Structure 1
């Protein structure tokens, strides 16, 4: 049986949902923005989290993988925002565009939403609103690499120095020959030990 009250409720509910969708901010990134492509606004409020510490002995991400020169974090781990990474990347692209065929590689990506409440706001009433995207990077993580074509060390060092000055932590210049880093310790490759106390056994000899 048709009910005028039920049809009115359904129509009002659809209109309310459309109004809520129109008021929600658009989170689809632009072509040059450092942000995830499509994000559901319902899941934008996450915990703050902590900077990871590699206590398991992993050295993944502490050496170059694409370019010939790069910078990595030497100081304390830090949370880098998308704006800071974009500013440093723009500096590198501007310095590298004079070298034909050069490429700039960004090894981290801001995918952690940061929510902030206004100053002098009373406690309670839920979490703050979404402000910007960020990423948490530990000590020793490579941030930028340059390569693609042979680049002189002097040019790469100067370009990466200017990019590192835009980031809020201490960075170090590295090359393909640089050792991996585990926190504040450089990990040297293991050398085979030769024990002279054991007698040498030649093939074909009888014991």
Structure 2
């Protein structure tokens, strides 16, 4: 009964025991995927550019980049080590590495298929929040230092943000409109006849 309800696409179960220290999806459709490009925010959406869970955070200020699971885990460990003095403090990771990266060896002839799976990665555009700190009140100096050390482990430039930080649209900070928007239109259309 249950298999008839599932989609007919093959699912790949990643072998072995999944440890808590690993950042990897539990189930994927294809082990080998196209390389893809870093997304460029052009549509006007500011989703994911402000804090959602914590009080302090970092977001990408430089160019969009591809983070590996190992880089994200290293940065998260640095933050946890710095804020462990505050009881109840939490770290929120806002991106997840779900893209498999396959690599062929150096000086290999062309053909004979795609390379073997190497690591998990995620593509993150400019302006996205990567880490947040919250859970309990944390001093700004402590949060700033912990997030600065985590940003040093990652391959792009970041900015420290708070709850009052404005959203970003790519590399541009979105300012709130100064004039109130009225619901009724004051202009009337005039058609020449």
- Aligned mate of 2:25, from 19, 32, 36: 36
Aligned to 2:119: 132
TM-score by length of 2: 0.84
CA contact (8 A) 2:14 2:26 kept: no
Equivalent position SS for 1:71:
strand
Equivalent position SS for 2:57:
strand
CA contact (8 A) 1:139 1:184 kept: yes
* Unaligned 5+ runs, structure 1: 1-23, 195-207
More off after superposition, 81-90 vs 28-37: 28-37
Give the 5 Å matches for 1:105-120: 105-120=92-107
TM-score by length of 1: 0.78
CA separation in 2, counterparts of 1:184 and 1:39? 32
- Aligned mate of 1:170, from 157, 168, 182: 157
CA separation in 2, counterparts of 1:179 and 1:48? 32
Question: Which runs of at least 4 in structure 1 moved beyond 3 Å after TM superposition?
Answer: none
CA separation in 2, counterparts of 1:91 and 1:102? 14
Structure showing greater radius of gyration is: 1
| C-alpha displacement of 1:37 | 1.4
Say whether residues 1:97 and 2:84 are aligned partners. yes
CA separation in 2, counterparts of 1:87 and 1:164? 10
CA separation in 2, counterparts of 1:63 and 1:27? 37
CA contact (8 A) 2:79 2:147 kept: yes
CA contact (8 A) 2:66 2:121 kept: yes
- Aligned mate of 1:148, from 119, 130, 135: 135
Equivalent position SS for 1:177:
coil
Give the 5 Å matches for 1:55-94: 55-94=42-81
Superposition RMSD in Å: 1.6
* Unaligned 5+ runs, structure 2: 1-12, 182-193
- Aligned mate of 1:48, from 35, 42, 66: 35
CA separation in 2, counterparts of 1:25 and 1:116? 18
| C-alpha displacement of 1:31 | 1.8
Equivalent position SS for 1:72:
strand
Q: How many residues align?
A: 169
* Residue-by-residue CA offset, 1:159-193 (whole Å, 9 max, x unaligned): 00000000000011000011101111100111225
Equivalent position SS for 2:178:
coil
